[in-house]
């Protein structure tokens, strides 16, 4: 029998309470900066925003930590490799107002925009450390985050990418996210984004081939 001297570390998905994420905020923001390839220092601007989001109604977070198989895992101490969170959308929120005006500019009627935005969960952040990407972890995290939600739909924004050719786009399409607004620009940011939405609960997934 082969003896493995270095145990392979397997990610374990865990719910994160607000105090648990607060205690891991630097670690979580480091994953965000590495995953998005943002310049160092971005995490300092983002920290107060992520902390404020934790107090919003319906906030929920899920992470993935690395543990060693066969070793009784101390999940609190295990290193984080992926993070996702979101909260219930509400009309006073900046993101909600931006999306509402984007929908109107894109031709949505006021009634349809209001109906869509009346009961949704905003999937705010989803990031897997580059070293852990490409193994289905992002999908597991998104499903775990959205699984208990009672809102009618989930909404998110993601940067536009030529041909929708990146992991985020493939993941969102696989999960059933459809176009709400394309080529949308948030106030103060020139980059085009897509606003995507999926009915909740998400449709069940299929096992990856291979
Ligand atoms: C987008 C992101 C969260 C996706 O997470 P991920 O773990 O890399 O991706 P997925 O869960 O979709 O899985 C990736 C691949 O593994 C494959 N896969 C799924 N389950 C698998 C399994 N059990 N074993 C092996 N591979 C598997 C998928 O088919 C997928 O292939 P594809 O990307 O070629 O389509 C992650 O890549 C990331 O953080 N990217 C940078 C930041 C970012 O773009 N965030 C979103 C901004 S809105």
Residues contacting 156, CB < 8 A, separation 6+: 86, 122, 123, 124, 126, 172, 177, 195, 196, 197
**130 in contact with ligand 1, CB cutoff 6 A:** no
Residue 210's pLDDT is 45
**129 in contact with ligand 1, CB cutoff 6 A:** no
| 3 falls within a domain | no
- CA 83 / ligand 1 centre spacing (Å): 13
Residue 9's pLDDT is 76
172 part of the active site: yes
Domain count, the chain: 1
Residue 2's pLDDT is 44
What CATH number is attached to the domain comprising 65?
Answer: 3.40.630.30
- CA 137 / ligand 1 centre spacing (Å): 6
Please, what are the averages of pLDDT over each run of 10 residues along the chain (210 residues)? 54 97 97 94 95 98 88 81 98 98 98 98 98 96 98 98 98 98 96 98 78
| Domain span including residue 54 | 10-199
Catalytic residue among 85, 87, 120, 172: 172
| 207 falls within a domain | no
**13 in contact with ligand 1, CB cutoff 6 A:** no
- Give the separation between CA 30 and CA 38, rounded to whole angstroms: 10
Residue 72's pLDDT is 62
């Amino acid at each position: 029998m082969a003896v493995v001297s270095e145990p392979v570390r397997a990610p374990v998905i865990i719910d994160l309470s607000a105090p648990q994420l607060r205690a891991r905020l630097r670690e979580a923001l480091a994953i965000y900066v590495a995953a998005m390839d943002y310049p160092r220092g971005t995490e300092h601007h983002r920290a107060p925003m992520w902390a404020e989001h934790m107090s919003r109604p319906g906030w929920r977070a899920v992470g993935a930590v690395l543990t060693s198989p066969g070793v009784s895992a101390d999940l609190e101490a295990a290193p984080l490799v992926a993070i996702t969170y979101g909260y219930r959308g509400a009309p006073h929120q900046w993101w909600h107002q931006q999306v509402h005006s984007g929908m109107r500019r894109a031709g949505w009627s006021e009634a349809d925009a209001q109906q869509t935005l009346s009961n949704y969960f905003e999937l705010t952040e989803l990031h897997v450390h580059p070293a852990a990407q490409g193994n289905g972890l992002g999908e597991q995290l998104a499903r775990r985050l959205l699984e208990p939600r009672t809102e009618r739909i989930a909404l998110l924004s993601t940067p536009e990418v030529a041909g929708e050719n990146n992991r985020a786009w493939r993941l969102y399409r696989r999960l059933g996210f459809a176009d709400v607004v394309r080529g949308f620009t948030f106030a103060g940011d020139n980059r085009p984004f897509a606003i995507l939405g999926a009915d909740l609960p998400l449709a069940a997934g299929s096992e990856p081939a291979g």
